Amino acid sequence: MIKLQGTLTHFANPLAHKDNRYSAAQKSILSVANSVSAIADIKTWPAYNETPLLSLDELAQAQGLKSIFYKDESQRFGLKSFKALGGAYAVARQLQQTMATKLGTEPSIDALLNGSLKEELATITISCATDGNHGRSVAWGAQMFGCGCVIYIHKDVSEGRKQAMQAFGAEVVRISGNYDESVRLADSEAKAQGRIIVSDTSYEGYMEIPKDVALGYTVMLSEIVEQLDNAIPSHIFIQGGVGGLASAVTGYFWDLWGSKRPRIIIVEPEQANCLQLSAKAGKPIVVDGDLETLMAGLACGEVSALAWEILNNGADDFLTLSENTIAPMMQFLAKGSADLAPIEAGESAVPGLAAAILANQDTSLALSLGLNKDSQVLVIGTEGATDPELYQQLVQG
């Protein structure tokens, strides 16, 4: 069994559970009721399949935990990431709303897919900035529904991820700055060119579309609920980034399970910990600089405004994770065992699991987080080998 070497920095959120109600304002961002139509629509898409929830029983036993559940998103729609759900769904919603304005009635998902609106859809261009996976989802959605697509990437996005977006027909523009600078450029050029921004982060003046991205993620969360078969995890270790996924996980399960909701623990890289610093300050904080981290999908310095509305009092704990835990965790999963087939997990898929193991190995931190023999831990393996060349380098050591 694995024994990780690395460091964690913990901050317990003093606002968590102060008022245990999931408020009307938070429900307006994401709720179980609002997710129903998104779930129904996405399940009609070509090649929809439920992804597996794996029980890592051998690992849980070795760690002295009751169970570890791993939601494996490595094959979602062939895009190898949970983000296939959010970006593409938000593209569909924008196309439906744009066509409703032109036609006087909102077309169905089937109408977008069957070619009857081909000429009209071809006049629309969708755009966004990305670390890789969200942009791939947006590009795939644009290709699936037949509209144009322009994606902005920052200097640290790998060539493999760039090529994956181009393979879906997107025009990809690389800038010399960081992720947050690419977000600002995409926004300004969209306004100048008449494009529709479909971003997974929200900011002043841009709040509605990221709600649809988050609603797309609820397909994965509803699958988890069914796969758990009435069990409610005690802990969820979830990756940070701008907070989009973390807030969807927090909000959906809080709305669904109320006071029985799991303890939500946010995991970030040491050099890109905008959520932890924001929790400490009690307000959104920007992390400047290169945001260098192997966890490419989490290299974000600015909190999504909508996400923060949920995480500010919904997340229980914030952890930063050192870089030296990532490759060993990927290697462990790739190796498999007598009881478990190898798991393809990219560098942004494993921080939640790595943090759970590392925290459990620290007696004091385990006590602080309430980890013990009765703990049922849920983690989300958010991606597979989204950059195959880098993946092979890391798992081969």
Catalytic residue set: 83, 131
CA distance to 49, 255, 329, 367, per residue, from 317 (Å): 32, 19, 22, 13
Sign of CA dihedral 22, 24, 29, 30: positive
Is 9 in contact with 275 (CB distance < 8 Å)? no
| DSSP notation for 94-153 | HHHHHHHHHHSSPPPHHHHHSSTTHHHHTT-EEEEEESSHHHHHHHHHHHHHT-EEEEEE
Tell me the two tokens of residue 151. 């994606």
CA distance to 132, 234, 326, 335, 337, per residue, from 340 (Å): 29, 23, 20, 9, 5
Give the contacts of 367 (CB within 8 A, at least 6 positions apart).
Answer: none
**Alpha-carbon gap, residue 35 to 20, rounded angstroms:** 21
CA distance to 22, 26, 253, per residue, from 260 (Å): 12, 18, 9
| DSSP notation for 296-358 | GGG---S--HHHHHHHHHH--EEEEE-GGGHHHHHHHHHH--SSS------TTTSHHHHHHHH
* DSSP SS3 for 273: coil
**Alpha-carbon gap, residue 121 to 142, rounded angstroms:** 9
**Alpha-carbon gap, residue 88 to 130, rounded angstroms:** 14
**Alpha-carbon gap, residue 129 to 140, rounded angstroms:** 14
Nearest in space to 81 (alpha carbons), one of 71, 73, 89, 72: 73
Give the contacts of 353 (CB within 8 A, at least 6 positions apart).
Answer: 68, 70, 237, 329, 333, 379, 381
Provide the residue type at 166 as one letter.
Answer: Q
* DSSP SS3 for 181: helix
Helices first, then strands: H and E counts in the chain: 17, 11
Residue indicated by tokens 């060539």 = 159
